[in-house]
Chains A and B, each alone.
Chain A
Amino acid sequence: MEQEQLICVEGVTKTFRLSRKQQKSENTLKKEIVAVNNLSFTANRGEIFGLLGPNGAGKTTTLRMLATLIAPDSGDAFIDGLSVVNTPEKVRAKIGFLTSELKLEDFFTPNYIYDFFSNLYGIDKEVAMARKKALFERFGIQKFAEVKIANLSTGMKQKSSLVVSLVHDPDIIIFDEPTNGLDVLTARTVTDYLQELRDAGKTIILSTHIFSLVEKLCDRVGIIINGQMTNCGTLAEICDGKSLEDRFFEIYKEKIGGQE
């Protein structure tokens, strides 16, 4: 059976100009840094696709391009057939995006913020109420639904952000390190929920540097090193009988060794 490719990334490249300060802190004389270099991959409907890579590999940058926060210098990506370059507004309506860069206003409560974003997406009142009740219950947000974001713990904030990214029940979910900063219990709630969403037919892309998370969740995985996709396929295809961790080190050595 031919699978439907819901997300199609075609040769995206993103270069950042470095400020003086960045040049100093990264100890380089380069004026520019290629964060993502001619990267391509596809994700099928109803699967969890994992982007695995070390710090600074370009995972977040890739996901930000998919979420239309930043535009690729060249290349394009298609989300359910919609170009992120040419129709960013339509793409935004289809996706739920979570990354640590997106913050909720300290002054408001999770309850207020949920309603506000629900209204922004133009969700029907009754649907919104039911959805909020279910999500809040699922993530235990009722306990602090009326507490200002400023007074919440990191984990509580992360849960609130996650719920807010799902107010419109998107078909495509793009999560950047969704379990970062969460304790094992909460992380478990999140991974269980992601599996549930997949079983409900949603397409999920997540980035991580945690091998166990990939092994547990992902149907297919792409390994990014230095902004380039070195390997992409099902877990079995990539691992080739070895553990993911061992295989990753092999790939990493090949890649870095080949460059030096």
Chain B
Amino acid sequence: MKNNTWNIIKKECSRFFGDRTMVITTIIMPGLLIYLIYSMMGDFFMKQKENAAPTKVYVENLSDSLKPLLSTLPFEMITENLNGENLKSDLSKKEQDYIYMVFPDDFDSLVSISPSERTELAPNVQIYYNSTSDKSKEAYNVLSEVLGQWEDSNYNLFDINKIEKEGQVYDLASTEDVVRGLFSELIPFLLLMMIFSGCMSIVPTSIAGEKERGTLATLLVTPLKRSELALGKVLSVTFFTVLSGLSAFLGMMLSLPKLIHADEMGVDAAIYTTNDYVALLVIILCTVIILTSAASIISAKANSIKAASSLMLPFMLVILFIGLTPMMLETSDSSIALFLIPVYNSVQSMTQILGHEINIIPIILTVVSNFLYSVLCIWILTKMFNSERVMFSK
């Protein structure tokens, strides 16, 4: 009779791992789906970039002085046999993805006169485009930018970041830091959501489900201690949810580099050290246990799986809100006391670890406070298992 917590855990494991559907939907699917979706999205963006035909730019009176510059742009320049009126009306009628550009007849000679000696208005280059077409609009932006810069360089006062000698880098952040920054923004919240959805499908089945089917009552007439039951239940659902969370995490770590094309930047997922991963694992673990033990309380209150799921909805909104706050608050003015707020501290700690700025005190605070909250939840759950009003209300 000494180790009934372990008996409960063993039974929960037989139940969980013996149910193929359960294992597939909560452990295999999250990782696999994330991996497939992110990889496909990455490939899709890549293909779109590669397959896109260059935008057509119809140019009238192409200026000789601009010809070399414009030919370096990824556009198809068409300068012969142009019918200006047709081009303009077609461009306005349907969604068209080309550009129609008109230089004044004597553009080259006009621009050679310095502005102070000029007697007429400055020459005007007309660029017709259709803003409903992404390609046309983007080409317009590129062309006006290039022409503007060319104009500036003709009357140069000063330049910004113009000199590009070999090895000259102006953005001093390393590519790895850029990738880490991206990861630390994307992963914590996504992971939190994945863990929560795992928790949503695992905990109600295990607790509200047993209550609903009358199998919990069978346990309650045995000398099994309520505390052993509560601990056994929470530990086993925590274990399953951790597996679900790790699956999602693995899926993300393997597919995010593909999504953001990290290989083109010369970076792979090995930007993190073993220490980073261990710290992350610890944070994931204490995030899961606080979520599952809180969800256990909600499930024990509910009379059915369905009721438990709907009771969890407001809980989810709170988690969503707390989970989003680190993105809205500036990290620099976050006080250390904020690390006592469950879920917030998890997201914040994960952000720090993935962003490679591990501060040991906040992480310890996160782990210790979450552990204490979980103990409190398990204590409450024990009280609930002891309460006939909770267990046998109809």
The answer to whether the Cβ of B88 comes within 8 Å of any Cβ in the partner chain is: no
A112-B220 CB under 8 A given contacts A70-B388, A107-B19, A119-B7: no
Given A69-B392, A122-B2, decide whether A107 and B15 contact each other with a Cβ distance below 8 A. Answer: yes
CB contact under 8 A between A101 and B7, given known A120-B222, A122-B1: no
Q: How far is the CA of A47 from the CA of B317 in the complex (A)?
A: 59
Chain B residue nearest in CB terms to A116: B11
CB distance from A93 to the nearest CB of B (A): 4
- The residue among A101, A107, A112, A116 with the most chain B CB atoms within 10 A of its own CB is A107
Within 8 A of B (CB), among A102-140: 102-108, 112, 116-117, 119-122
> What would 30 A/B residue contacts be, using CB atoms closer than 8 Å?
A69-B220, A69-B388, A89-B225, A95-B221, A97-B221, A102-B214, A102-B217, A102-B218, A102-B221, A103-B213, A103-B215, A103-B217, A103-B218, A104-B215, A105-B15, A105-B215, A106-B213, A107-B15, A108-B14, A108-B15, A116-B11, A119-B7, A120-B4, A120-B219, A120-B223, A120-B224, A121-B1, A121-B223, A122-B2, A164-B218
Query: Is B49 in the interface zone, CB < 8 Å from A?
Result: no
Complex: chain A residue closest to B214, CB-CB:
A103
CB of A92 closer than 8 Å to a CB of B: yes
Whether A218 sits at the interface, judged by CB under 8 Å, is no
Q: B18 to chain A: which residues have CB within 8 Å? A: 107
Closest Cβ neighbor of A105 among chain B residues: B215
The CA of A120 and the CA of B5, in the complex, are separated in Å by 9
* 4 closest residue pairs by CB, A with B: A122-B1, A103-B214, A93-B223, A102-B218
Contacts of A117 in B (CB 8 A): 222
Q: Which of A67, A69, A93, A112 sits near B14, CB closer than 8 Å?
A: A112
- Please tell me which one of the listed residues B2, B4, B210, B217 contacts residue A69 in the complex, with CB atoms under 8 A apart: B217
On chain B, the residues within 8 Å of A105 by CB distance are: 15, 210, 213, 215
Cβ A92 vs Cβ B223 within 8 A: yes
B394 at the interface (CB under 8 A from A): yes
- Contact indicator per residue, chain B 376-394, by CB within 8 Å of chain A (1) or not (0): 0000000000001000101
Chain B residue with the shortest CB-CB distance to A89: B223
Q: A102-B218, A102-B221, A106-B213 are in contact. List 11 more A-B contacts (CB 8 A).
A: A19-B394, A69-B220, A89-B223, A92-B222, A97-B221, A102-B214, A103-B213, A104-B218, A107-B19, A119-B7, A122-B2
Q: Report the separation of the CA atoms of residues A107 and B206 in the bound assembly, to the nearest whole angstrom.
A: 12
CA distance A120 to B176 in the complex (A): 54
- In the complex, what distance in Å separates the CA atom of A138 from the CA atom of B189? 58
Given contacts A120-B7, A121-B1, contact A70 B14 (CB under 8 A): no
Q: How far is the CA of A103 from the CA of B394 in the complex (A)?
A: 16
Q: Mark B203-242, 1 if CB is under 8 A from A, else 0.
A: 0000000100111011111111100000000000000000
Which chain A residues lie closer than 8 Å to B7 at the CB level?
A: 116, 119-120
Which residues of chain A come closer than 8 Å to B210, judged between CB atoms? 105
Q: Which residues on the A side are within 8 Å of B219 (C-beta)?
A: 120
Which residue in chain A gives the minimum CB-CB distance to B7? A119
> Which residue in B4, B15, B217, B388 is a CB contact (below 8 Å) of A101?
B217
Note all chain B residues with C-beta closer than 8 A to A108.
Answer: 14-15
Cα(A7)–Cα(B365), bound, Å: 54
Q: Which of B1-24 contact A (CB under 8 A)?
A: 1-2, 4, 7, 11, 14-15, 18-19
What is the distance, in angstroms, from A129's C-beta to the closest C-beta of chain B?
Answer: 17
Nearest B residue (CB) for A22: B394
Contacts of A116 in B (CB 8 A): 7, 11
Neighbouring B residues of A37 by C-beta, 8 Å: none
Q: Would you call A71 an interface residue if the criterion is a C-beta within 8 Å of the partner chain's C-beta atoms?
A: yes
Cβ contact within 8 Å between B392 and A70: yes
CB within 8 Å of B: which A146-188 residues? 164
Interface residues of A in 67-98 (CB under 8 A from B): 67-71, 89-90, 92-93, 95, 97
A160 to chain B, nearest CB (A): 11
A103 to B219, CA, bound (A): 9
The residue on A at minimum CB distance from B212 is A103
Interchain CA distance A103-B217 in the complex, whole Å = 8
A70 surroundings in chain B (CB, below 8 A):
388, 392
Chain B 8-48, CB-CB to A under 8 Å as 1, else 0, gives 00010011001100000000000000000000000000000
**Chain A 6-30 interface mask (CB, 8 Å, partner B; 1/0):** 0000000000000100100000000
Most chain B CB atoms below 10 A, which of A90, A122, A164 = A122
Q: Which residues of B contact A119 (CB under 8 A)?
A: 4, 7
B213 CB, nearest partner CB in chain A, Å:
6
B223 — which chain A residues lie within 8 A by C-beta? 89-90, 92-93, 120-121
Q: Which residues from A are CB-within-8-Å of B19?
A: 107
Which residues between 46 and 81 of chain A lie within 8 Å of chain B, taking CB atoms?
Answer: 67-71
Closest chain A residue to B222, Cβ basis: A120
- By a CB distance below 8 angstroms, the chain B residues around A112 are 14
CB-CB under 8 A from B14, the residues of chain A are: 108, 112
Residues in B with CB closer than 8 Å to A68 are 221
Report the nearest A residue to B209, measured CB to CB.
Answer: A105
Q: Report whether A69 and B213 are in contact in the complex, using a CB–CB cutoff of 8 Å.
A: no
CA distance A39 to B43 in the complex (A): 76
A75 CB to closest chain B CB (Å) equals 16
- With a cutoff of 8 Å between Cβ atoms, the chain A residues found around residue B394 in the complex are 19, 22
Please name all residues of chain B whose beta carbon is closer than 8 Å to the beta carbon of A71 when the two chains form the complex. 388
Complex Cα distance, B387 from A71, in Å, reads: 10
Closest to B220 in A: A69
